[in-house]
A and B are shown apart, each in its own frame.
Chain A
Amino acid sequence: MVQLAKSKTRRSRQARRQAIEGYLCILPWLAGFVALTLGPMVFSFLISLTKWDMINAPRFVGLENYATIFTDDFRFRQSLKVTAYYAALSLPLGMAGSLGVAMLLNLNLRGMRIFRSIFYIPAILPGVAVTMLWLWILKPQGGVLNYLLGFLHISPKPWLSDPNWALPAFVVMSLWGIGGGMIIYLAGLQSVPTQLYEAAEIDGAGSWTRFRTITLPMISPTIFFNLVMGVIGSFQVFTASFIMAPGGGPGYSALFYVLYLYQKAFKYLQMGYASALAWILFVIILTLTLIIFKTSKWVYYEAEMKNEK
Chain B
Amino acid sequence: MKSEKCKMRDKGTDNREQVTERVRSSNSQALTPDLSLIAHRSSHAARRSMLAYAALVVGSIIVLIPFVWLISTSLKDPSKIFLDPPQWIPNPVRPENYVKALTVMPFPLYLWNTCKVTFMCLVLQVLSSSIVAFGFARMRFPGRNALFIVLLSTMMLPVHVTMIPVFKIWAGLGLYDTFVPLILPAAFGSAFFIFLLRQYYTTIPIEMDEAARIDGASTLQIWWRVLMPQAMPALITVAILSFMTHWNDFLGPLIYLSDPDKRTLALALWAFQGQYVTDWHLLMAASTVVMLPLLILFFTAQKYFIQGVVISGVKG
Which of A's residues lie within 8 Å of B, judged by CB? Answer: 15, 18-26, 28-33, 35-37, 39-41, 43-44, 47, 54, 101, 104-105, 107, 109, 113, 115, 117-122, 124-130, 132-137, 141-142, 144, 147-148, 176, 183-184, 187-188, 190-191, 195-196, 198-200, 202-203, 213, 217-222, 225, 232, 235-236, 238-239, 242-243, 258, 261, 265-266, 271, 274-275, 278-279, 281-282, 285-286, 289, 297, 300-302, 305, 308-309
Contacts and interface: CB of A to CB of B under 8 A. Distances in A.
Interface string B142-184: 1010010011001011111111111011010000000000000
Contacts of A202: 22, 26
B161 A25 contact: no
Contacts of B56: 101, 104-105, 115
A118 B63 contact: yes
Contacts of A213: 15
Contacts of A24: 135
Contact of A47 (B164, B266, B288): B164
19 contacts: A18-B139, A22-B139, A23-B135, A24-B135, A25-B139, A25-B223, A26-B135, A36-B185, A37-B154, A41-B165, A107-B48, A124-B298, A125-B291, A133-B66, A147-B86, A148-B65, A202-B22, A300-B9, A309-B13
Contacts of A147: 84-86
B141 A28 contact: no
Contacts of B171: 54
B315 A191 contact: yes
B206 to A, nearest CB: 13
Contacts, number: 285
B156 A286 contact: yes
Interface string B1-44: 00001000100110110011011001000000000000000000
Given A25-B139, A136-B73, A285-B156, A183 B306 contact: yes
Contacts of B73: 136
B276 to A, nearest CB: 11
B141 A44 contact: no
